[in-house]
Amino acid sequence: MDYRIALFYASAGAGHKAAAEALKEWCEAEYPGVSVFCRDVLDYVPQWVRWSVTNAYLSMARNYPWLWHRFYRSADRLSGRDLFADFWEDIHRSIGRAYVKHLIRDIDEFSPDAVLVTHFFGMASLLDKWDRGAPIYYVGTDYISHKHHRDPRYDGWFVGSAESARQHRADKVPTSELAVQDFGIPISRKFLTPPDREEARKRLEVDERAVMVLVCGGSTGGGPLGVIADSMLDCTDWRVDVVCGDNGAMMDALRDKYYPFKHINVHGVVDDIRDYYAASDAVILKPCGVSCAEALAMGSPVLLMDPLPGNEQYNCDYLLEQGAALRLFENRSAGEQITELLDSAGELERVSRRAGEIARPDAAKDILAFVAERIESDRAGKKARGREKQEARKTPPPDGV
């Protein structure tokens, strides 16, 4: 196959990048002849803009969740005016208009058959200005969508849940039955073949008889990781692994704090998170869309901690409604809650089983298969139209003309 697929993400939140890279990984494995162009849209803006966008999100998410809630909800409004949201929209569009020409230059040079985006930053300007030489699809990275994801100018949407598809229908966004596909959130191919508990514990050097708990703050190390670990200080016969991701300051602080407690291990970015999921009796997780999709694919019994207002809260609500996760309400009593759950193993088994039932580990494969089918269909249509034109030129005009 000689397809060319362009993938764009924004590094304001690691899940969007992870989803794009998962699509690239699957594409290279499933369609070896396909050329893939994968790029961060923030590469097209000056460093100060990139820094402002990324750090504004991280600062609000970590330090001012109430402000993030205000921003998310006002930007998600469907009607009426809101000065806060309008101010952001004006800035977003101004930045997009100023720098989208560089993005369009690369797209035109690459000449893709399809464009897939996992973040809306800059996309409104692209949809405005590009001559649409190929269809543009939006790929959702959460279980519930936002208004910016449902821009009717996209050629199609790949969403994380049936609930998200329902949001699109309510907005009257789909232009056809094929426009919105509920394939799930794209994650890496490696989650198709999770390790079993025994081999994972052997690699991590965890005693088979020990209770193991994973506390994961996602790639940004968000959430009250220290408070939760404190609740398990007395559980010295357990193995507690705290993953801080890229949050080096958090990692250093917790390593210093828990140095005397040999049962608590603090990590930054881990080599293969699958081993930690597979080896754990319980996983305490921030409800980021991609992280949750990965945990579901592993069939992990998940407790969700401190969801941010907006997309994380909606992810949390969705998974609780599906029975695929539990909610950790009191961080200071996490150890007590896990002990109770372990004493009634049926609850953890039920959650783990339900997680496996709704998991979509091959979501990226389904997305790419759909895109490939549409490319083939478009090419076949162009060939048919070309043949019709040739035949029309060969046909002699009727008598008397």
State pLDDT tens for residues 219-236.
Answer: 776 789 999 999 999 999
Q: What are the residue ranges spanned by the domains of the chain?
A: 4-186+362-390, 190-358
State pLDDT tens for residues 66-100.
Answer: 777 766 776 666 555 566 566 666 666 777 777 88
| All residues at 6 or more sequence positions from 257 whose CB lies less than 8 Å from its CB, including other chains | 226
Contact in structure between 352 and 300 (CB atoms under 8 Å) = yes
Please provide the DSSP assignment of 184-248 as one string.
-----GGGGSPPPHHHHHHHHT--TTSEEEEEE-TTTT-S-HHHHHHTTTT-TTEEEEEE-TT-H
Q: Which two tokens stand for residue 127?
A: 């949809």
Please list, residue by residue across 41-52, b when 16 or more beta carbons sit within 10 angstroms of its beta carbon and e when fewer do: bbebbeeeebee
Model pLDDT, residue 77: 66
CB neighbourhood size of 277 (10 A): 25
Q: Is the pLDDT of residue 293 over 70?
A: yes
Radius of gyration, alpha carbons of the chain = 24
CA proximity to 139, closest of 16, 309, 274: 16
User: pLDDT grade, residue 108 (50/70/90)?
Assistant: very high
Over range 96-112, report the average pLDDT: 88
Please provide the DSSP assignment of 3-33 as one string.
-EEEEEE-SSSHHHHHHHHHHHHHHHHH-TT
Contact in structure between 301 and 348 (CB atoms under 8 Å) = yes
Q: Which two tokens stand for residue 22?
A: 């998962």
CATH code given to domain 4-186+362-390? 3.40.50.2000
4-9: strand order across its sheet: 35-40, 4-9, 114-117, 136-139, 156-159, 180-182
Q: Is the pLDDT of residue 271 over 90?
A: no
Task: List the beta bridge partners of residue 238.
Answer: 211
Over range 301-323, report the average pLDDT: 92
Please list, residue by residue across 86-124, b when 16 or more beta carbons sit within 10 angstroms of its beta carbon and e when fewer do: eeeeeebeebbeebbeebbeebeebebbbbbbbbbbbbb
Model pLDDT, residue 88: 65
For 370, how many CA atoms within 13 A lie in the half-sphere containing its CB? 22
Model pLDDT, residue 267: 95
Model pLDDT, residue 385: 74
Strands (E), 222-339: 238-243, 264-267, 282-285, 302-305, 326-328
State pLDDT tens for residues 185-230.
Answer: 999 999 999 999 999 999 999 999 999 999 998 777 678 999 999 9
Q: Is the pLDDT of residue 177 over 90?
A: no
Q: Name the amino acid, one letter, at 147.
A: K
Classified by CATH at the fold level, domain 190-358 comes out as Rossmann fold (3.40.50)
State pLDDT tens for residues 5-44.
Answer: 999 999 877 889 999 999 999 999 999 999 999 999 989 8
Over range 340-364, report the average pLDDT: 92
Over range 140-158, report the average pLDDT: 91
Model pLDDT, residue 282: 95
Q: Is the pLDDT of residue 46 over 60?
A: yes
